[in-house]
Amino acid sequence: MNTNIINNDESSIQLYQDVIEKFTVNPDFPYLISFPRTGSHWLRMMMELYFEKPSLVRLFYYKDSRDFTCYHRHDTELDIQRKNVIYLYRYPVDTIYSQLNYYKENTSDTDRINHWTTLYAKHLSKWLLEETFTTKKTIITYEGLKTNLDNEFAKVCSHFDKPFIKEKLEAASLIVTKQEVKKRTVHDPQVINLANEYEKNKKIFVDRFSEHIMNSIFSINPDLNGFFK
């Protein structure tokens, strides 16, 4: 039995913190930073299959691995400073809607919408515009992964100094469907919402709150406008 893991369920396993620290004590060890609800589970599973080794802290396929691509953190406290970072971000309106649903909050509650919008705006500002401590940073978007997976994932390969092999990525992407992510995240059943009402209610939310959310984002940092044309 591997004593380095917390065996949550058959779908994935979580490493103990002391194992993580053996890697993160290296100041050059890569971090994957993403605000919650921006597609990190999907990306991490594809990365694990493509690079044939998992990221910290959760192992989905290569559960006996002793080597890792990076350490995933949400940085919701905005206190992380690392040299080597991949930053994944997503369109704010979709992110806020997903976050409200994740916590089972009222999607019409403007106070909660404003709360999450402010947190995300500060997150985006830090990692897209304000930070000065990274020496190696790659920025990718959820939308880029959805619409041009080859181009966006090639940036990830370049960050790790690995070759981009189209056929290998295609094989991984065929495995990591929404249903597969749902199956592999038994530890957190809120990660993927497959209910029919989800998309229907999302359209209502987008129509009603898009302008409000984006105006709020830009009021916190007008320079973010350039990232959401």
Q: What is the 3-state secondary structure (H, E, C) of 142-176?
A: HHHHHHCHHHHHHHHHHHCCCCCCHHHHHHHHHHC
Tell me the two tokens of residue 76: 């919701």
Residue 191: which pLDDT band, with cuts at 50, 70 and 90? low
| Rg, C-alpha atoms of the chain | 18
pLDDT at 14: 87
Q: Are 124 and 89 in contact (CB under 8 A)?
A: yes
Pairing of strands 58-59, 84-89: unpaired
Q: Are 39 and 95 in contact (CB under 8 A)?
A: no
pLDDT value of residue 185: 84
Q: pLDDT grade, residue 193 (50/70/90)? A: low
DSSP assignment letter at 193: -
Confidence of residue 190 (pLDDT cuts 50, 70, 90): low
- Closest among 129, 159, 197, 189 to 69, alpha carbons compared: 159
- For 177, the 3-state DSSP assignment is coil
pLDDT tens digits, 112-135: 999 999 999 999 999 999 999 999
Closest among 32, 2, 36 to 19, alpha carbons compared = 2
Banded model confidence at residue 3, pLDDT cuts 50, 70, 90: very low
Q: What is the pLDDT of residues 27-53, one digit of tens each?
A: 999 999 999 999 999 999 999 999 999
Tokens linked to 42: 């999907």
Q: 61-88 burial, b if ≥16 CB within 10 A, otherwise e?
A: beeeeeebbbbbbebeeeebebebbbbb
Superfamily for the 5-227 domain: P-loop containing nucleotide triphosphate hydrolases (3.40.50.300)
Q: What is Dmax (Cα atoms) for the chain?
A: 53
Query: What predicted TM-score, i.e. pTM, was given to this entire model?
Result: 0.92
Domain boundary assignment for the chain: 5-227
CB–CB of 187/11 below 8 Å?
yes
- Give the pLDDT of residue 1: 35
Q: How far apart are CA 75 and CA 36, in angstroms?
A: 9
Contact 93, 214 (CB under 8 A): yes
Spatial neighbors of 142 by CB under 8 A, at least 6 apart, are 38, 39, 88, 89, 90, 91
What is d(CA 198, CA 182) in angstroms, rounded to the nearest whole number? 15
**pLDDT band for position 5 (cuts 50, 70, 90):** very low
Q: What pLDDT, on the 0 to 100 scale, is given for residue 194?
A: 65
